Amino acid sequence: MPKPPLSVSLGDGGCAFAHDPNLPVGPAPIAWLPELSPGTLILETAPGGFDHLTSLDPEQLGSVVGDHTDDEGRELVVIDDSGELHVRLPADQTRTRSAILLPPDISFELRLDVALRFVRRLRGQRVKLLPAALRLTSFQKQRLIQLLHAFDVHDAGGGPREVAAEVLASDHAQLPSVEWKDSHARRKANRLIHDSIALVERGYLKLLRGL
């Protein structure tokens, strides 16, 4: 009797989740993996020759709404009107000789912008914590809520009619089949379903990267 095919994890040899799977999901801020989020500032301990440096303390920036410590270090979440800045500190952080780590990845320019804003804020300058590319506009927030609502309807077994009725609040959802087929509401509902699936299936990573 043939054996069923083995399922292959996308995370073999690593972690495929954008959110740390070891952390619970709840109302607290999400702890994004720093390699996926340029909005996460990574602090390390500078070499010994930089003994004159002081600690870059994120708690000086304002309201800390999240604070989590694990085996790899500590992550603080600081907010202002531009959004959430995540700051990752090493496990052996001694609050002295702080340095900012800037991996030269695809998001290097954004990471550099975030780092400059962080330092300027610590120096007392009135700058926003996050660059414009990492801030969600009101329109984007409304659109994301709509997409997640559409995905929930679709995931529960609903089709375009249900999305049109529950998400778009469109009376066209009650149209007879012939009229419904050519309706604007049906086309919009189908686009919502398509885009919502793409968003949930890792499309949201573009938001993290400011794309």
pLDDT at residue 12 greater than cutoff 80: no
Confidence of residue 93 (pLDDT cuts 50, 70, 90): low
What is the structure's pLDDT at 27?
58
- pLDDT, tens only, 46-80: 887 887 777 777 888 878 888 888 777 888 899 88
pLDDT score of 1 more than 70: no
pLDDT tens track for 110-133 = 999 999 999 999 888 999 999 999
In 3D space, the residue among 151, 182, 184 whose CA is nearest the CA of residue 166 turns out to be: 151
**Contact between residue 102 and residue 88 where contact means Cβ atoms under 8 Å apart:** no
**Alpha helices, DSSP H, located in the chain:** 108-122, 138-155, 160-166, 177-181, 184-198, 205-208
Entry pTM? 0.71
Question: What is the reported pLDDT for 205?
Answer: 82
Phi, psi (rounded to 5 degrees) for 36: -105, -15
Q: Residue 96: pLDDT band by 50, 70, 90 thresholds?
A: low
In single-letter form, the type of residue at position 122 comes to: L
Sequential DSSP letters for 77-134: EEEETTEEEEEEEETT--SBSEEEE---STTHHHHHHHHHHHHHHHTT----SS-GGG
The residue-averaged pLDDT of 189-195 equals 95
> Under a CB-based contact definition with an 8 Å cutoff, are residues 89 and 191 in contact?
no
